[in-house]
Structure 1
């Protein structure tokens, strides 16, 4: 549904009607299925986090001066497992994003190789895609579930622990890496759109493109991309990019978030 709204009345999309291309690779064709599965994982984590935040996890639980009960509500397993699950989900968004970056660089379907003219003199977006490949690989190493391990402590009294704090730290690192991966995909997509002119994408995507261009200019030749990547990662991290596109969509009476009320797009 979101893709239909985002691509509505795109000249670029219409130019491919009856073009003879049978089907796209999975990283394009299966975006709703892959992204949706990851979204469900994060919704699961959100729901369980809400439950834990509203639960009594003290030990012992004190009901009165002479009324205490030692229990097990302190155990971190209820969050450790979904945190590991969320880690996989975030890593997969990065994995499929890297594949789309790679496709944009292949020099097929009217786009120049490495998204730049005079390849040979210029290496284009080759190095940014090296970065996505490295970050995706790092995320894979962080996907070993911390909750699958347990080390006894406290003379065996604490003989099974969740390792949930490690799960949380890992998912935080994966999310940081993911923001940079998505920044590089966004930069690559904006670069690719320039090579489709005079055709334009949809009104929404052109607005997204123009917003990115307020921070980063078109790359006509090689330059150090670190500053560009950091700037775009910044507008992803602070939600200004997503929030800006959503506000523009609302002003045009486009509905991007129907059925997604479980997440506040502006704040989560």
Structure 2
């Protein structure tokens, strides 16, 4: 009798452990790069397709060297495109008929026909349109937002090290202050939408963020200035290594 009870107990332990494992595996499949909403999935296969498409476009154009985008760039752009399309729909913002894909292609150092160029262009265009829509606000940027901008620019060497925050705030042109204000408004919209979508990103691609305002360094590099962090992953979520 004692042996039978022990066997039943062992069976219960196994069932319990399987249940816990099933819960921990929820929205953490290694073949998925990111989850967006209840049913949206950005798979590693999809990421690879876009990467391969960019490589093929470069080869067809006779270009040599490495593909100038990473898998992380692709995941960020796919998530951003999804989130921005939802925010734009809520705000009745639509894309123009013709996007300057050639300009984006030059910026990204990819042929215009690469799918990544279109995805990036659509996401960026929606962000710009939303900033324009928020541009009618007469509100002033918060000190918190200005401090973030100041710290980011200073860390990048774009602000005189001797300049204090108060000096920076006083000397910042009115049009740039307005740009910070509108970007912060779009950031808050995107953050709210992203929160509702319960985005989760494979640890392989963390940290991931949507940039709603970039700045250009002295050497011409674009870097994020006002951002929305997205999709913090569980520490124990599986990671798939893809070459």
Same fold (TM over 0.5): no
TM-score by length of structure 2 reads: 0.30
Higher strand share: 2
> Scaled by the length of structure 1, what TM-score is found?
0.29
